[in-house]
């Protein structure tokens, strides 16, 4: 590999923030894959948090684009405005396994659920956060909150969750 060829990927990542969005009605969300919350961007099931955000915002004419990047890059890029938001903010990476991630694994592999939960180190809420650099961050957060309530009331949220082998999170804690 020549020196100039090795520099191209570095230049690509440095120039990403300078590329204008194709549409003013787009939100660019980033995260690293952490299925079932957010999976690979090209996956037919990109993650239930990605699907929920898309369903909420498309009703307002806003397209949600989701990209997968290393977690530290997603955090930094959201803080600096490179991404409009991050999916999975506030999550704990130190647990042996998250209940939803494990249930999704069982669901996608067809493995029978013959496991007993040994205990929980604690429950952490998972968020969809918006960049402090995003002018309409508060408006989008309100839109998402109201949209999530509407998805739940209409049954669309349960349909999304069921496609990942999950149920409402408050039902899972009972």
**169 band by pLDDT with thresholds 50, 70 and 90:** confident
| pLDDT, position 13 | 34
Of residues 117 and 68, more confidently modeled: 68
Domains contained in the chain, CATH given? 23-116+126-169 (3.40.190.10)
| pLDDT, position 151 | 95
**127 band by pLDDT with thresholds 50, 70 and 90:** confident
Highest mean pLDDT among 30-39, 94-103, 161-170: 30-39
pLDDT at residue 102 tops 80: no
Closest alpha carbon to 172 in 48, 16, 42, 26: 48
Percent of the chain clearing pLDDT 90 (strictly above): 42
Residue pLDDT, tens place only, 46-93: 999 999 999 999 999 999 999 999 888 888 899 889 999 988 866 544
Among 25-29, 53-57, 68-72, 118-122, which is the least confidently predicted range? 118-122
Residue 150, judged by CB atoms within 10 A of its CB (0-12, 13-18, 19+), counts as middle
**116 band by pLDDT with thresholds 50, 70 and 90:** low
CA distance 154 to 172: 20
pTM of the model as a whole: 0.62
User: What phi, psi does 163 have (nearest 5°)?
Assistant: -70, -15
Q: Please give the DSSP secondary-structure letter assigned to residue 34.
A: B
Instruction: Tell whether omega for the bond before 36 is within 30 degrees of 0, i.e. cis.
Output: yes
| pLDDT, position 111 | 63
**96 band by pLDDT with thresholds 50, 70 and 90:** low
Two structure tokens written together for 55: 């369903």
- Please, where are the H alpha helices in the chain? 3-15, 48-58, 71-80, 99-109, 137-154, 156-162, 169-172
| pLDDT, position 30 | 93
What is the chain's mean pLDDT, rounded? 77
The answer to whether 34 and 124 have CB atoms below 8 angstroms apart is no
């Amino acid at each position: 590999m020549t020196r100039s060829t090795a520099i191209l990927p570095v230049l690509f990542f440095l120039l990403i923030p300078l590329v204008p969005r194709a549409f003013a009605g787009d939100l660019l969300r980033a995260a690293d894959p952490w299925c079932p919350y957010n999976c690979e961007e090209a996956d037919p099931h990109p993650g239930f948090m990605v699907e929920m955000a898309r369903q909420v915002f498309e009703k307002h004419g806003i397209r949600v684009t989701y990209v997968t990047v290393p977690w530290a890059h997603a955090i930094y890029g959201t803080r600096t405005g490179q991404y409009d938001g991050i999916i999975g903010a506030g999550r704990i990476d130190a647990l042996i396994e998250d209940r939803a991630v494990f249930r999704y694994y069982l669901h996608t592999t067809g493995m029978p659920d013959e496991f007993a939960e040994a205990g929980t180190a604690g429950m952490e809420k998972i968020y969809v956060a918006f960049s402090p650099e995003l002018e309409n961050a508060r408006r989008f957060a309100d839109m998402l909150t109201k949209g999530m309530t509407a998805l739940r009331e209409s049954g669309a949220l349960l349909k999304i969750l069921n496609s990942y082998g999950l149920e409402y999170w408050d039902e899972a804690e009972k």
